[in-house]
Amino acid sequence: MIRRVLIANRGEIALRIIRACHEEGLEAVAVFSAADRLSPHVLAADYAVPIGPAPASESYLRIDRLLDAAARTQADAIHPGYGFLAERAVFAEAVERAGLAFVGPPSSAIRAMGDKTEARRRMEAAGVPIIPGLMVPVTDPAAARESARNLGYPVLVKASAGGGGKGMRVVAEPGELERALHAAASEAMKAFGDPAVYLEQYVERPRHVEIQVLADAERTIHLGERECSIQRRHQKLVEEAPSVAVDAKRRVQMGLAAVAAAEAVGYRSAGTCEFLLDAQGNFYFLEMNTRIQVEHPLTEVVYGIDLVREQLRIAGGALMRTLPLAMSPRGWAVECRITSEDPSNSFLPATGTVQYLGIPGGPGIRWDGGIEPGNAITLHYDSLLGKLIAWGTDRAQAIARMRRALDELVILGVPTNQSFHLRLLADEAFLRGEIDSQFLDRRPDLLEARMEPGEAEAMAVAAALAEDEARQSRRPAVSAEREAAIQSLWHQAARREGLR
């Protein structure tokens, strides 16, 4: 049985997992680098263990220090979250060897899906549609030219061991191929420690649609789709569930394909199968994310399930709570990733200290954040500050609620991409659902930094509020008698004003 879980991560996902642990009646152990000593996830945990300096390579990526922290706190399990070591088979294997439960899939499933060419071979054998392309890495430029000619240009060069857009190049004509191979391999080596790349046919203007799966020792189910087509440089910015391009019939087809993909590698826990959906409605397996996704809250609010709690149950040897094999979405949800990126500086990651944080509320609004005032935002980690989720009975209401919530959200001290989200959610093409994974490539105007109407005034008011709070905190303490007298004077003034 699992009693205590170490979370091998930081920020909003660590805090999210800690809350799920507490709801399951489990104790949570946080780990932290020197930069995260006072972060919210550290303060929320039952135990907290320092694991090294700020650079991730010396802290969150150190398997030995994570296992030592688990041993020192007598943890029974480790949850990797997403990013860092979450999809490293070597980490899952180390956790398994230490006699701990890994809150995720078996290391064998991570390894099978982590190698993109191996995954393609397995998916083809399982009858899951795949994009035409090679089943083995490219090793010879001459063979690559022959393969590209057979596939037909444009082709896509992709890292075998990667994801997230790293080690990927689009090649429009033969003269660009060799340079793209070299660049992709070099980038793949830096990002994943493996320079292997392969070729596949390039799908023009596809939608990026993913299917959530959940598997225990007895069965595998799917929990519908999420639309993730709004991307910049292959990085997701806005997601929604369900998708305007997926009807009930297509949902069943894609769901069955995702279940077959998961079962082909003996999957357990929560995972996501990513697909490309073309204009004709054909879908192709892209990859499987063998972890909890950043955008998992969309599925939670639309399907009424806590995916992280289910992960914890399954890791402890229990079965998932009673869920039908096929579920229907309830309403609509939109998620905006709020990042510390500066729109006025080509969306480059920005640094600073959070001076003020105003979190929106109201019907259908959820904030999954990992920051609070006083936290330093550095370049050591991902720029994600939090995720804003809006639910509505339909897409129009979800978008309207999201726009209202974005207007209410105030983060001072570090630039954010908040204004971009407001521009996108007011765009007519987006509102009609006419999007694909290259939408922002054709609409650079949505990425241009400009002050929205009323934004300057709102920022001035927020700055004044932040300064007032800081000034109040610097004032000497007031006695209870003096405080009562001050309140009394305010009440008297208010009464006099009312009588007038």
Would you please indicate which residues are annotated as catalytic (active-site) residues?
A: 291
Reported as half-sphere exposure (CB side, CA atoms, 13 A), residue 440 has a value of 20
Strands 27-33 and 101-102: unpaired
In the numeric block, the tokens 């200290």 are attached to 353
CA distances for 402 relative to 197, 420, 433, angstroms: 39, 13, 16
DSSP characters for 241-292? ES-TT--HHHHHHHHHHHHHHHHHTT--EEEEEEEEE-TTS-EEEEEEE-S-
**Rounded-to-integer distance, Cα 461 and Cα 242, Å:** 37
- β-bridge mates for residue 288, sequence order: 273
In one-letter notation, the amino acid at residue 447 is L
- For 203, the enclosing helix (H) or strand (E) is none
**7, two tokens:** 């979370």
b/e burial code for range 368-405 (CB count within 10 A of at least 16 → b):
bbbbeeebbbbebbbbbbbbbbbbbeebebbbbbbbbb
